[in-house]
Amino acid sequence: MSIILSLVITFTIAVAGQTVPGRAFDRLITIWLGHEDFNSSVNNAVINNLSSQGILLDQYYSLTHPSQPNYVGSIGGDYFGLDHDNFTRIPRNVSTIVDLLDTKNIDWRGYFEDSPGPGYMGPENVRSDGKTDYVRKHNPFVQYDSINFNGTRLSRLLSFRDFDHELKANSLPQYIHISPNVLNDGHETTSLFALNWTDSFLGPLLKNTELMNRTLILLTYDESKTPEQPNRVTSLLLGGAIPENLRNTTDSTLYTHYSIISTVENNWDLPCLGRYDVGANVFELVASQTNYSNKPSPNLSLVNNSLSYHGFLNSDPAKHLPMPPPNLNLTGAGGQGVVKVVMDFWKNTAKNDTPYDGSGRLFDGGDGTNNQQAPQYQAQDSNIRGLKTGAAAKFNNKKSLAARKNILNSEGMCFWVIFGLSTGLTAIFSFTV
């Protein structure tokens, strides 16, 4: 056993680099609200006003319940069976959209309302009146050790104060994630409260012609409110990247939170993660300009997207599985293969079975009894546009279990303990067996 002790002290301030032109937009801003059903929000006056300025995505689906796995999946291409909002850590060998952006030095940041400071890793921030405002579960980046073990990356997880400062300085990055606090996103208040905040926040941005130049905004919800219904959420595309003839229109293409990653890949010709980012539809606004062909899901009508499937982060020991390897043979929406850092991390698992086939098929944990839409493990192959038929398509439990054991045995086991100090420093202990 080797023991490594490192003290990470971050004083880095991220500086905006040169703009990397995209094929359909030069900046993407994603703004996340909290748990509301499509039918309860789509006819709100604020949504109606905003949709008149952009594109309503009326077939946009979240991935599961509760909130946290949707954030995790939106940058990692899978939520790995996560079924809770508790403190979560994802190993360093799991890459994210950040690794894709970094291949072209595309500047990125996450802005989190009421976050105490850059790279804050605590579970929440409690106000002087005892109410919680910032919560870690709505910060997708800090869940991944590939980010929180990197001081430069941690320094890009900022607060709304930083957003305001960089907006005034005209130094906002090209990829932006925005999470309001749990009051303004509607989690601890109401949908109307959240939409009133949205109106006050978005209104000035949409009027800022310099900021909106070739900027695309996605306004979405992390999850729906009613688990008994399919996980459909109201989502809008806004900003200067939308031509006049597409404003006040509706796009009925199937999208999920994985479409954020595939759209980024397609727009900037980036490599892929080799997970569910491959096969996720690209926003048609972008696909129509890049000649990318979207595909319907082969099983949308069978999926509820409310119960998480078995996986590495599932809280039920009976549903826990080893971390699945990415499919190293996939080609993503950017026309490229799997990003090099993923290839390097996972090269020893190239012969292991994987659940990722690039088909665009949706998966969930069933209805609590039947689990027919669970991920199916099969040999790594190039993109499959639809499921195989016959015996090859059936889920073989013995084969799958053996494949998962091989995954576990092919990798060393690494454990990390992180201590947050009162000074804001972070002590990281790494134990590798």
With 70 as the cut, is the pLDDT of residue 367 above it? yes
Q: What distance in Å separates the CA atoms of residue 157 and residue 103, rounded to the nearest whole number?
A: 19
Q: What distance in Å separates the CA atoms of residue 256 and residue 282, rounded to the nearest whole number?
A: 10
Q: What is the pTM of this model?
A: 0.87
Q: Count the domains in the chain.
A: 1
Which of 189, 190, 111 shows the shortest CA–CA distance to 155?
111
287-293 long-range contacts, Cβ below 8 Å, gap at least 24? Answer: 289/23, 289/24, 290/23, 290/24, 290/266, 292/266, 292/333
Per-residue pLDDT at 394 = 30
What stretches of 180-321 show up as alpha helix (H) in DSSP?
191-207, 209-212, 258-268, 284-290
With 70 as the cut, is the pLDDT of residue 414 above it? no
Report the relative pairing of strands 175-179 and 108-112 from DSSP bridges: parallel
DSSP 392: G
Q: What distance in Å separates the CA atoms of residue 238 and residue 45, rounded to the nearest whole number?
A: 16
pLDDT tier, 11 (very low <50, low <70, confident <90, very high otherwise): very low
With 50 as the cut, is the pLDDT of residue 7 above it? no
Structure token digits, residue 221: 């919800």
pLDDT greater at residue 44 or residue 395: 44
With 60 as the cut, is the pLDDT of residue 183 above it? yes
Q: What distance in Å separates the CA atoms of residue 263 and residue 285, rounded to the nearest whole number?
A: 10
Q: Is 47 inside any structural domain? A: yes
> What is the overall mean pLDDT for the chain?
87
Q: Is 8 inside any structural domain? A: no
Q: Is 179 inside any structural domain? A: yes
Per-residue pLDDT at 126 = 77
pLDDT tier, 391 (very low <50, low <70, confident <90, very high otherwise): very low
- Write the pLDDT tens digit of every residue in 104-156: 999 999 999 999 989 998 888 877 676 779 999 999 999 999 999 999 999 99
Q: Is 2 inside any structural domain? A: no
Q: Is 432 inside any structural domain? A: no
With 80 as the cut, is the pLDDT of residue 365 above it? yes
Per-residue pLDDT at 2 = 36
With 50 as the cut, is the pLDDT of residue 400 above it? no
Q: Is 420 inside any structural domain? A: no
Q: Is 5 inside any structural domain? A: no
What stretches of 187-275 show up as alpha helix (H) in DSSP?
191-207, 209-212, 258-268
Q: Is 92 inside any structural domain? A: yes
Q: What distance in Å separates the CA atoms of residue 343 and residue 388, rounded to the nearest whole number?
A: 26
- Write the pLDDT tens digit of every residue in 276-316: 999 999 999 999 999 999 999 888 888 888 999 999 999 99
Which of 3-7, 236-240, 272-276, 305-309 comes out lowest in average pLDDT? Answer: 3-7
Per-residue pLDDT at 128 = 66
Per-residue pLDDT at 148 = 94
Per-residue pLDDT at 383 = 79
Which of 105-114, 242-251, 407-416 comes out lowest in average pLDDT? Answer: 407-416
Per-residue pLDDT at 121 = 87
Per-residue pLDDT at 420 = 40
Output the domain CATH number for residue 375.
3.40.720
Residue-range definition of the domain harbouring residue 125: 14-412
User: Please, are residues 183 and 113 in contact by the beta-carbon 8 Å criterion?
Assistant: no
Please state the rounded mean pLDDT for residues 216-240.
Answer: 96
Sheet arrangement for strand 55-57: 157-158, 108-112, 175-179, 27-33, 215-221, 235-238, 55-57, 249-251
pLDDT tier, 16 (very low <50, low <70, confident <90, very high otherwise): low
Percent of the chain with pLDDT strictly greater than 70 = 84
Which of 200-214, 331-345, 372-386, 387-401 comes out lowest in average pLDDT? Answer: 387-401
- Rounded to the nearest 5 degrees, what angle is found at the Cα of 90, between the Cα atoms of 84 and 96? 110
Q: What distance in Å separates the CA atoms of residue 59 and residue 208, rounded to the nearest whole number?
A: 29
CA 376: distance to chain centroid?
21
Which of 203, 195, 76, 53 shows the shortest CA–CA distance to 144?
76
With 90 as the cut, is the pLDDT of residue 369 above it? no
pLDDT greater at residue 38 or residue 430: 38
What number of other Cβ atoms are within 10 A of residue 13's Cβ? 10
